[in-house]
Structure 1
């Protein structure tokens, strides 16, 4: 059987890297319109470049079912290999910059929203040390970050409740204390000590079911023989804290998601068995071909970053007040 593409000819027929970039954007955003907005191009330009790429490949790359666009099998294959091509060019760029003695390049980190408050403080010293790095922080709920990891969109990930996946490396970065909070005006806020029976009939403000914080909370409570009966679901850490302030209920949140400014409005409830203890984790896909920058950042997070998390956690344990990790 004659090969569809004679060896060495496909690379010469694909027009530009830009066409591959457009295809990836269409695949990730789900359509021409969204891809055009992301890339600051006109819709006709995106459509034309997609058509030219399909012509050079010799197979349709997507199909329309009503208003819905889906990639063909060929389109999925081209997207997967296009991402490998861009990863390769990124590594080449980094290597060439190293020859010039500069640490330059791109670094993308996916971070669950429960860590969005302290992670910028954690990464601040790293950014100041390597100011020429183009850093991208992608915050999202656990499902969103898991989806990004499955698509290999980022170099590293920070989780509070890591996925159970044999294809990833999971390394603890520090203790994640889960603390119970209430508004200062709540009747329980003035109590010197509490048991679970004192709060069992309270309404708890919880994250969505798939949230790492919620899964860790329910797992730790189950180990203590406790369950939450009445609850309200809010899919936002900031929304949960405002709901607590509005006396809609009490909540269990990571201690490092609190800051000094909230101390005057919120109180940590002294419930027996609290804080619940989990960990923060640095996660990456196994056998990840790290760039120099990604490896530097991973080593930093598991070295200096871990020390900063430990210092902030120790401060909380000694003072029962929040402290963001800084250096």
Structure 2
């Protein structure tokens, strides 16, 4: 029996490819062959061919589609688990090699919620300038997607606007995050010195999807004040929300960092009592993460120079009522 197992193992080693496992892993992540192909910059036929080859090699179907839902078979679940083990070992190999090479090579993997995409690249810039030979993989998604990436330990570090629910994480504050009430410059309350939340009862609030960091912070803040949300619409992106506000479809509560200096001049901050919401940006990692030399160096950079860049941008906002992107 041991001999047969060895022969099968050698056969798989000869026939399986990392690309096949990568495609299957992406299918498990995205719940679709087409979306997995997009993620890996493949055509859908190419991704389907890789999956068929893997299924033929393993002698078992890997997934089934019922209606619109894709479900992994038991064989598919086992293959995904094996792929994760292989990728984790390769990642550890990169960590070990980075330790030998110092900061002159390697890949830095960062996951950020969409609100953070406005400032993280500006913090990354000085670090990458100091270490021009490193590669950076920046994954951007909503809170649910980043929670899943964190649970799967896919990246070195994450930016969250509110601490994640996952127990196996470590979080540290890296800078201030202020959530402002914004409206079109044509809003009837624009320019008023003091506005009560009740004055906005007839307005539509434009919100991100349920569970997003900004929405969670707003709901907690209003609850603590004894207020509730008026009617609202859900819009899936910060840019979409800003354009909807410009079109006078409603008001919104957004992070100051999404409003860079000199842009969106037709957006105004409403002077609502008990706002802005004072929160923090959190730098998060999986509790079991083994940092490479590169990831550890970037973490230290974020906790010092990166945090200073963030807070200096908001200090500008305190003086000019208009935030400024981080700069060095």
With the shorter chain as reference, the TM-score category is: 0.7 to 0.9
Q: Name the counterpart of 1:238.
A: 239
1:4-19 superposed matches below 5 A: 6=5, 10=9, 13-15=12-14, 16-19=17-20
Q: Name the counterpart of 2:224.
A: 223
Question: Is this contact kept in 1: 2:147–2:166, CA < 8 A?
Answer: no
1:261-320 per-residue CA deviation (whole Å, 9 max, x = no partner) reads 335211111111111111111111112122222222222222211111111122212221
1:1-327 superposed matches below 5 A: 6=5, 10=9, 13-15=12-14, 16-30=17-31, 35=36, 38=40, 40=42, 42=46, 45-51=49-55, 53-55=57-59, 60=60, 62-65=62-65, 69-96=70-97, 98-100=99-101, 103-327=104-328
Measured after TM superposition, the shift of residue 196 of structure 1 is 2.3
Q: Which runs of 5+ in 2 are unaligned?
A: none
Measured after TM superposition, the shift of residue 48 of structure 1 is 5.0
Write the distance in 2 (CA, Å) between the matches of 1:202 and 1:30. 37
Question: Is this contact kept in 1: 2:206–2:250, CA < 8 A?
Answer: yes
Write the distance in 2 (CA, Å) between the matches of 1:4 and 1:283. 46
Task: Provide the secondary structure at the position in 1 that maps to 2:159.
Answer: strand
Task: Provide the secondary structure at the position in 1 that maps to 2:136.
Answer: strand
Write the distance in 1 (CA, Å) between the matches of 2:10 and 2:304. 43
Measured after TM superposition, the shift of residue 65 of structure 1 is 4.6
Write the distance in 1 (CA, Å) between the matches of 2:321 and 2:307. 20
Q: Which runs of 5+ in 1 are unaligned?
A: none
1:125-144 per-residue CA deviation (whole Å, 9 max, x = no partner) reads 11212222221111111112
1:221-278 per-residue CA deviation (whole Å, 9 max, x = no partner) reads 2112222222222121111111111111211111111012335211111111111111
TM-score (norm 1): 0.87
Change (3 A) 1:178 1:5: farther
| Farther-moved stretch of structure 1 (20-29 vs 110-119) | 20-29
Task: Provide the secondary structure at the position in 2 that maps to 1:283.
Answer: strand
| Farther-moved stretch of structure 1 (213-222 vs 78-87) | 78-87
Tell me how large the CA RMSD over aligned residues is: 2.7
Write the distance in 2 (CA, Å) between the matches of 1:48 and 1:203. 49
Task: Provide the secondary structure at the position in 2 that maps to 1:172.
Answer: strand
| Farther-moved stretch of structure 1 (229-238 vs 87-96) | 87-96
Measured after TM superposition, the shift of residue 44 of structure 1 is 6.7
Write the distance in 2 (CA, Å) between the matches of 1:88 and 1:283. 22
Measured after TM superposition, the shift of residue 22 of structure 1 is 3.8
Change (3 A) 1:239 1:317: same
Question: Is this contact kept in 2: 1:207–1:237, CA < 8 A?
Answer: yes
Which stretches of structure 1, 4 residues or more, deviate above 6 A after TM superposition? Answer: none
Write the distance in 1 (CA, Å) between the matches of 2:22 and 2:195. 57
Measured after TM superposition, the shift of residue 201 of structure 1 is 3.0
Write the distance in 2 (CA, Å) between the matches of 1:101 and 1:65. 46
Question: Is this contact kept in 1: 2:63–2:76, CA < 8 A?
Answer: no
TM-score (norm 2): 0.87
Q: Give the total of aligned pairs.
A: 322
Task: Provide the secondary structure at the position in 1 that maps to 2:193.
Answer: coil
| Farther-moved stretch of structure 1 (116-125 vs 257-266) | 257-266
Change (3 A) 1:307 1:98: same
